[in-house]
A and B are shown apart, each in its own frame.
Chain A
């Protein structure tokens, strides 16, 4: 997400990310996901909103402490987003536990539409798009994009260049793997030209 930091001539003040691709993250409840995002925002501040410091003091008053609840996190997010543009990037959203995913999207729906601006960039498999649109489109549109053919080819090439056992690959296997990837990605990306460039 580094290019996003430099994007739009400094308009973006905070870019925070959550990656669902690994096991501990996949099983995170919405409080864990949003807490992690909020942690990144707060960690980048020179000064923190008094509301957050006060919330910490309040939880200390409880003998065993009190875990953050979704409304707590959403409120703190809204507090910060009210004074700076926050870009929330969520990768592999489809790999989040479905029950948690719905709650997470609903929570994001509460956070995002609060003025002035917070934005969500989400990646996932195609089947997740309907869910995102249904849950988040109510207060703002959902734009969508697929990966480009050139990016896919470059990504596959880079992966092959990092192969630690190149001796295990022969031309037939390499052709089969590459052809299979391109064919299964999307019909629009399959073509003799693409495959010819790749091999």
Chain B
């Protein structure tokens, strides 16, 4: 079974064809032997509620996400949060 993503949200209007993910158990370890979900769950468990929420409310971050800019540049695709060790960057947002 295949479909063209133009049936759904497809901002690029690409012509990629999709297939049922029967091969997924074989594909995932081929892409990476790492289990990134484990570390993500650890971080999630230690996260402090609402920490860093301010970041998602800034014009810069919204412009970054929707592609409208929001900062000095019209097209911001990278958002970096930088500070010294131990201040909690891992847990925001």
Contact = CB atoms under 8 A, between A and B. Distances in A.
Tell whether A and B belong to one assembly: yes
Interface of A: 1-4, 7-8, 11-13, 16-19, 21-22, 24-25, 28, 32, 35-40, 42-43, 45-53, 56, 59, 68, 73, 79, 82-85, 87, 91-92, 112-113, 115-126, 128-129, 132, 136-137, 139-148, 150-152, 154-155, 158, 181, 184-186
B44 A22 contact: no
Given A48-B18, A155-B51, A143 B87 contact: no
Contact of B31 (A19, A42, A139, A158): A42
A6 to B, nearest CB: 9
Interface in B40-93: 40, 43-44, 47-48, 51-56, 58, 60-62, 64-67, 69-93
A184 B84 CA distance: 8
B39 A22 contact: yes
Contacts of A118: 77
A139 B87 CA distance: 30
Contacts of B77: 112-113, 117-120, 136, 139-141
List the 7 closest A-B pairs by CB distance, nearest first.
Answer: A141-B73, A155-B88, A140-B77, A35-B32, A116-B11, A47-B18, A123-B89
B62 to A, nearest CB: 7
Given A56-B27, A117-B67, A137-B78, A151 B88 contact: yes
Nearest to A85: B11
Contacts, number: 249
A137 B75 CA distance: 10
10 contacts: A8-B62, A19-B90, A32-B32, A83-B11, A83-B16, A116-B11, A120-B77, A139-B77, A143-B78, A181-B86
Given A48-B24, A49-B18, A121 B79 contact: yes
Contact of B32 (A38, A52, A123): A38
Nearest to B26: A56
Given A28-B34, A39-B36, A141 B12 contact: no
A139 B75 CA distance: 8
Given A121-B80, A186-B84, 20 more contacts: A3-B52, A7-B65, A19-B90, A36-B36, A42-B31, A47-B21, A48-B23, A83-B14, A118-B77, A119-B77, A119-B78, A121-B78, A123-B82, A123-B90, A125-B84, A141-B76, A143-B64, A143-B70, A145-B58, A155-B91
